[in-house]
Structure 1
Amino acid sequence: MASSPTPADDLASLAGLPVIVGAGIAGLSTALHLNAPCVLVSNAPMGTGGSSPLAQGGLSAAIGPADSPALHARDTLQAGVGLCDERMVQAMTEAGPQTVAQLLAWGVPLAHDGNGQLALHLEAAHSQPRVVFAGGDASGRLMAEALARQVQARPDIHVLTPAQARRIVVRGGQVRGVELELDGGTQLLPTTQLVIATGGLGGLYEGATVPAAQKGGGLAMAARAGAALADMEFTQFHPTALDTGQPGQRPLISEAVRGAGALLVDETGARFTEELAPRDVVTRALAAHLAAGHQVFLDGRNLRGGRFSELFPTIHATCLQHGWDADRQPIPVRPAMHYHMGGIWVDRQCRSTLPGLYAVGEAACTGLHGANRLASNSLLEACVTGRWAAEAILQSRSGQESPWPASPPVGQVEPQEIPTPMPDTAALTVGELMWRHAGINRTRAGLQEVLATLGPRAVHDDAALMGCFVAAAALMRRESRGAHARLDHPRTLPAAQAPRRSLTLAGLEAFIPRFSPCKDSA
């Protein structure tokens, strides 16, 4: 592995190589599949930063004896509530078995059952057990560590860490470089092939299972460079995060716990929802029960297959740290922002609408998830999009690349009249504002408050800009579908009347009068 270069001369030696920003599972997968010299930019040691190491459940793939990619695709489409890209779903689910084989080849210690076959978890909205996992509930961490070891063994992958991408340089309508903040200051790394693998924007919300720093910085860079973002309104809230009683990041309680038989109960011990319904359904049931004055607990004292501490050791240890023994007592839970289905709009080759810019993993919007992500499809997407992006880059460098995709259609909507924010709203943090008005349940008035408050900050504040993208897209979608719920528009429209939409920075400026977040100059 190349050491992190500090002098400008060393950085100059990397000019022209493909650059991957982000070293989670999607970024690591991209680098490993490239089989060519490249640069991997990470703001943390490989295998440790971002959301990847926090993933508990595992990776979905149709490898069980009664399963098939067609069944996996059917479950994915059903969870996506009419907005999935069916061709993308088919391609992704068909890639599942090959992806599992690749993970094993890379040394990921996937769990096996007593018969020597890969063990499979059942998670919500899956019709079959199809989630491979590692370490019980440490799948993301063990996957990221295994891929990081593979990268370390590759001298042609040049790792820059700690480093932070700050701006995409665009000339002539194409990517020409990326500005990086290194120990020696800000430097330009010329490249014509840039991959954004920076994860999602869950950290925009006051209560989230992801690191607070993950506020969509990669998406903001892409938007300021002119790339289209899509499906920005679809923010998935996980129903069961540990209720610590404190603000900030909330520890995740994997859906696999409910798949193993844990029940959702209130303070009386009564169940109030179906535990394995789609995530948006369970999340809104919890939110409504909490709003009605109840407490909500996850009771895992009688799991199938063993004790809580045996099946989910990492989660059990986390609960103990907060004073709860999941083997002996129900643990308090509440919803938390968990995953963003939207992101940088990409095609089947992970190419954005800006030539030279690619996106993978949660930073990308492939159309796989539609309005609601099926559990554990995210790690599958991270691995597969890494391979697809690498293949596209190699084709481009050999001169065999197909024509660049056209921009996706932008929904035609009338400009909105955004009110001046009230003083109490203006005093809210971005996280509080997003949770209150762009969270589990939304209204026109609340979304307008988000835009009125964050619009003036968006010129130089990437978090505010991302909040505006989410709120604007949610304001455009005048229905309730999947993870997007409008109290003032509770009906789900026919999909043809409420299609997927993309939005550029210029489109955002046109949508909101008096709102002009400046785009970085080329």
Structure 2
Amino acid sequence: MTSTPGPEATNTPPPRNSAAPSSGALEAAGALPVVIVGAGLAGLTVALHLASQGQRVEVLAKRNLGEGATAWAQGGIVGVLGSDDSVESHVRDTQDAGAGLVDEQTARFIAENSAQAVGWLVDQGVPFSPDPDGPLGLHLTREGGHAVRRIAHAADATGKAIHDALLAKAQAHPLVTLRERWMAVDLITSRHVGQPEEGPRCYGVYALDIGAQRVETLPARAVVLATGGVGKVYRYTSNPETATGDGIAMAWRAGCRVANMEFIQFHPTCLYHPQERSFLITEALRGEGAVLRLPEGLPGGVGGSRFMPAHDERAELAPRDIVARAIDFEMKRHGVDHVWLDATHLGEAFLKEHFPTIHARCLSLGLDIAKQPIPVVPAAHYTCGGVVTDLSGRTDLPGLFAVGEATYTGLHGANRLASNSLLECVVIGRTCADGILNTPVAATAAVPSWDESLVEDADEQVVIAHNWDELRLLMWNYVGIVRTTRRLERALHRIQLLKGEIDDYYANFRVTRDLLELRNLVVCAELIVRSGLLRHESRGLHFSRDFPHTLPVSFPTVLTREARSLPR
């Protein structure tokens, strides 16, 4: 597969900040903070490393500090720690899961730094599940796609344990300022400051103080996008409300390349329950022996039978894309709304010890997982593509860095290996901080303040709600686990119409969080669909009925705002 042409630059509304530049230059660039957009593991890792070396940091969290995706992560973080493990083994498993699109240099770098990353988290006070006989005194578990046990975890709530520990460190550090309920509107770039002589770069962000409903100008030494993925572009997702693709959309509007957006990972097992639509049932449960079964009462006596061995020799331990497609196939084949994940044979004591969060949450909903199987469905879970960066988080725009799920480093390829995501945040978070500190401080520039003199308050919020619902439903129906060219083309046509409506709304009314999130989601939806249309094969997380075979040679799908092919 040859490299793919990017879409033409789309029309965007005129800048909202059209006032004349404020008098005088910004404060001395060396005294400027680094502004980090996002307060999850990626953002806090960068913040703590920068602050430890004397750099002032401002971290923006668009909701409450604990509401990001990190706190929702259950499984754990990869660490090549055991005597039965090796960097080569981890790289090989990452490549196998990534279906031929993993960048080997990136995978090796991440694996080589995995032990250091886990050790750093231990030093920050993360209470991983202990094992006196385990490496570093930690209990290691196994998840789908891994050859050995190499997942350090804190029971079944690893993300929360990590986030709580790092958040406490950040809150206690005098050089870290945490701004809760602040949302980035857009990046301040050279087009705002009159194209200075040193060329394009990022100078900061415009950010909405949601409580005060006021947009502020935040100049910065550097900006780090740590905004997470795009799960909320789909109707069903395991992601929190924050996963609206803000960083990807802002970087795209600023001219950065975006890659592999067609590869959206659908987690195979999200709880199917009317009162709990986003609760993830961790893959580690299957790693410990839980099996997938069809619901009882199906014709032909197949109800209750196990089905994964018929789809892959690794059965429930196959990579997530295979398991998700198998569940989707069986649900459509038998006309059922869900399948069962059966962990009853593991015993109540084992489940309470190793999966206390899942056991307690399900019990609160009337499901005793020690006595009955768990109803599950696939749901949008992880964005394997994003803003193109190097191994120090640098983007195409000087002064702009990105870390975590918002990025494409080449690690995940066409499908993310379980628990590599938290590892990537910690490893690249450290190198990103080093990259910022090792980059010469740019010259100062005067930037205009945000101007709302030509806009007014929105007259009908129902427009936003309607477009939000329509976008997520059409993405679920047309751009889901199994795709066709016709569905993608229909989705793209409607997305372009929605985008025009949203851009017009944005240009005429004062911004709100809902409007900004919708504006970012529709950009990301277009990137996902365009990427899918450009991939004429089925690979990893992208499965097309029109192109069911995998090509012998393939490359990442790289989109650029310039209408030309990217040489490779």
- Both proteins in one fold, TM over 0.5: yes
Q: CA deviation at 1:169?
A: 1.1
Tell me the residue number matched to 1:142.
161
Contact 1:309 1:326 in 2 (8 A): no
1:133 to 2:153 alignment: yes
Matched residue of 1:396: which SS? coil
Aligned to 1:350: 393
Aligned partner of residue 217 in structure 2, secondary structure: strand
In 2 relative to 1, CA 466–188 (structure 1 residues): closer, same or farther, beyond 3 Å? same
Distance 1:427 1:156, change over 3 A: closer
Q: Does 1:272 align with 2:307?
A: yes
Q: CA deviation at 1:307?
A: 2.8
What is the Cα deviation at residue 114 of structure 1?
4.8
Q: Are 2:217 and 1:201 aligned?
A: no
Deviation, 1:398, is 7.0
**Does the Cα contact within 8 Å between 1:62 and 1:96 map onto a contact in 2?**
yes
| Preserved CA contact (<8 Å) 1:208 1:338 | yes
Separation of aligned partners in 1, 2:376 and 2:495: 30
CA-to-aligned-CA distance 1:455-514 (integer Å, 9 cap, x gap):
12225222111101000000000100001111110000023xx31122134449x99xxx
Aligned residues of 1:227 and 1:352 also touching (Cα < 8 A) = yes
Matching residue's letter, 1:181: L
1:164 equivalent in structure 2? 183
Within the candidate set 238, 242, 249, 2:271 is matched to 242
Q: What does residue 252 of structure 1 align with?
A: 280
Letter in 2 for 1:479: E
Alpha carbons 1:307, 1:327 under 8 Å: kept: no
Aligned to 2:298: none
Which of 205, 208, 225 lines up with 1:178 in the alignment? 205
1:59 corresponds to 2:77: yes
CA distance in 2, matches of 1:438, 1:444: 10
| Aligned residue type for 2:149 | P
Of the three residues 511, 527, 550, the one matched with 1:469 is 527
Supply the distance in 2 between the matched residues of 1:435 and 1:258 (Cα, whole angstroms). Answer: 26
* Equivalent of 2:482 in 427, 441, 445: 441
Instruction: Find the aligned partners of 1:82 and 1:250 in 2 and give their Cα distance.
Output: 30
Deviating more after overlay: 294-303 vs 438-447: 294-303
SS in structure 2 at match of 1:207: coil
Partner of 2:369: 326
Report the TM-score when normalising by structure 1. 0.86
Q: What per-residue deviation string (whole Å, max 9, x for no partner) do you get for residues 353-406 of structure 1?
A: 11111110101111100000000000001111111110100101479xxxxxxx
Cα distance in 2, alignment partners of residues 251 and 179 from structure 1: 33
| Unaligned runs of at least 5 residues, structure 1 | 1-10, 400-424, 512-522
Instruction: Please name the residue that 1:402 is paired with.
Output: none
The amino acid across from 1:151 in the alignment is: A
Cα 1:304–1:75 shift into 2, 3 Å:
farther
Q: Which residue in the other structure is 1:24 paired with? A: 40
The aligned counterpart of 2:360 is 317
Is 1:500 matched up with 2:546? no
Task: Find the residue that maps to 1:100 and give its secondary structure.
Answer: helix
Residues 48-80 of structure 1, C-alpha deviations (whole Å, 9 max, x = no match): 122100000000111012011111111001111
- Percent identical pairs in the alignment equals 41
Say which SS state the counterpart of residue 361 (structure 2) adopts: helix
The secondary structure found in structure 1 opposite 2:430 is helix
Q: Is 2:291 aligned against 1:263?
A: yes
Alignment of 1:45-444 (within 5 A): 45-46=64-65, 48-115=66-133, 117-134=137-154, 136-171=155-190, 172=195, 173-182=200-209, 183-184=211-212, 185-245=214-274, 249-267=277-295, 268-273=303-308, 274-293=315-334, 294=336, 295-303=338-346, 306-397=349-440, 429-444=470-485
CA contact (8 A) 2:226 2:402 kept: yes
Q: 1:69 to 1:306 in 2, by over 3 A?
A: farther
Q: Report which structure shows greater RCO (CA 8 Å, sep ≥6).
A: 2
Q: Which runs of 5+ in 2 are unaligned?
A: 1-25, 296-302, 309-314, 443-465, 504-518
Aligned residues of 1:261 and 1:304 also touching (Cα < 8 A): no
CA distance in 2, matches of 1:115, 1:88: 31
Letter of the 2:528 counterpart: V
State the AA in 1 paired with 2:532.
A
Give the partner amino acid of 1:453: R
- Paired residue secondary structure (1:367): coil
The answer as to whether partners of 1:204 and 1:212 remain within 8 angstroms in 2 is no
SS at 2:377 equivalent:
strand
Listed one character per residue, the Cα deviations across residues 332-373 of structure 1 (whole Å, up to 9, x for unaligned) are 111011000001110111111111111101011111000000
Gap change, CA 1:319 and 1:195, over 3 Å in 2: same
Of 540, 546, 556, the residue aligned with 1:482 is 540
Tell me, in whole angstroms, the C-alpha distance in 2 between the residues paired with 1:289 and 1:223.
38
SS in 1 for 2:206: strand
**Residues 221-275 of structure 1 deviation map (CA, whole Å, 9 limit, x = unaligned):** 11111111111110000111111146x8421000000001101011222110010
Q: CA deviation at 1:13?
A: 10
How far apart are 1:427 and its partner, in Å?
Answer: 11
**Larger of the two Rg values belongs to structure:** 2
One-letter identity of the residue aligned with 2:249: A
- Judge conservation of contact 2:348–2:370 (CA < 8 Å) in 1: no
